[in-house]
Amino acid sequence: MNPPIAYLAAAGGTAFGRHEGRDALALMAEAAQQALDDAGLRRADIDGVLCGYATTLPHLMLSTLFCERFALRPAYAHSLQLGGATGSAMLMLARDLVRAGRCRRVLVVAGENRLSGQSRDSAIQTLAQVGDADFEVPNGASVPAYYGLLASRYLHETGACEADLAELAVLMRTHAAGHPDAHLRTPVTREEVLASKPIAAPLKLLDCCPISDGAMALVVSAEPDGDSGVVLAGAGQAHRHQHLSALADVLQCGAAEAAQRAFDEAGLGLADIDGLGIYDSFTITLAMLLEEIGFAPRGGAARRVRDGDFRADGPLPLNTHGGLLSFGHCGVAGGMAHTVELFRQMAGRAGTRQLRRPRHAFVHADGGVMSSHVSLILSREEAR
């Protein structure tokens, strides 16, 4: 007997950038209302709610706070906290809740006013806490510093160069240029990336994602609400370490394990995928994930970019909204934007940006310093 199907039924989201005077709850409410409208749902149709955390609103019961503000009375609600992997982890949990019969429709929502509602120093200090409290944080390490160390080792191990990483930043900006909701839309060149301000060697400013305000929401349903026909076909996680100092091999962070679990569950392989949403907090993040999972050979992600493989009109479109590097990063919702983009493309709801509709799409997110990995596989129902 086949297991019950969980559908991605609807999506909503705000523009990313600066939203002066709007807090996390207001942004979340806008995204959630868009998602309900997308599938013609009422608040009473939602019986499960999952919320991502917000560093600008560290409420102990964020899910019930949001439900109160948004006039929801679900039978199931809680918040999750898994760094950048939170959004995909929430979708995996929502899928399990629906398939188990616990809920019929789960609203997955996250948002944060990290750009306008938090000082730069506060943001740096808050995010740096993913480091080891005894050995890393006291030495002044920041998240860019952690990823700079990863990048140095990766370049040494693979023979890739800084210009290779820059190719990924250029591609993300190219894709964001066509999306009206993206934070950064001005095209950049490889030379501009390489000449941008040094942040944490070998990473420069344009190797790093911007900090944004924004929110995203998705509805996971037991029924194909509307006409999207997008199924959450597979999911997998892997957790090998928390701290960078505990990572034995930078080329094996756990991404491949999470991906394989998702592929096994979906009964698919790398060759079946024709759409990608890969977490890209830094250019090094994107390069390492593409290569560890198998969408590019070791040290070869940039070559695939130069060959046009990851372009919006290429055989394997990658982050066609611009990713974290250009669409923007507002915490949990930043990672969710990859899934929102793929859902819209698969459901034929991307409007003037509509591309060839993927049959099977792959999403991957990581939290911490390549620490927690979650992979999702989305399939159009007719392709199963």
What integer is the mean pLDDT of 133-149? 91
For 54-77, the three-class secondary structure string (H helix, E strand, C coil) is: CCCCCCCCHHHHHHHHHCCCCCEE
Mean pLDDT across the stretch 32-37?
97
d(CA 270, CA 154): 23
Q: Could you read off the pLDDT of 297-353 as tens digits, one per residue?
A: 999 999 999 999 999 999 999 999 999 999 999 999 999 999 999 999 999 999 999
Residues 176-192 have pLDDT tens digits of 999 999 999 999 999 99
Look over the chain and give the mean of its residue pLDDT values, rounded to a whole number: 95
The string of pLDDT tens digits covering residues 42-81 is 999 999 999 999 999 989 999 999 999 999 999 999 999 9
The pLDDT of 354-377, averaged and rounded, is 97
Residues 6+ apart with CB under 8 A from 63: 49, 50, 51, 77, 78, 79
How many residues make up the chain in this entry? 384
Flag whether pLDDT at 128 surpasses 90.
no
pLDDT band at 224; cut points 50, 70, 90? confident
**Whether the Cβ atoms of residue 143 and residue 331 lie closer than 8 Å to each other:** no
- Between 102-111, 252-261, 375-384, the lowest mean confidence (pLDDT) is in 375-384
pLDDT of residue 130: 86
What confidence category does residue 228 fall into, taking pLDDT thresholds of 50, 70 and 90? confident
The C-alpha atoms of residue 378 and residue 384 are separated, in whole angstroms, by 10
For residue 1, what pLDDT is reported?
62
Mean per-residue pLDDT, 219-227: 86
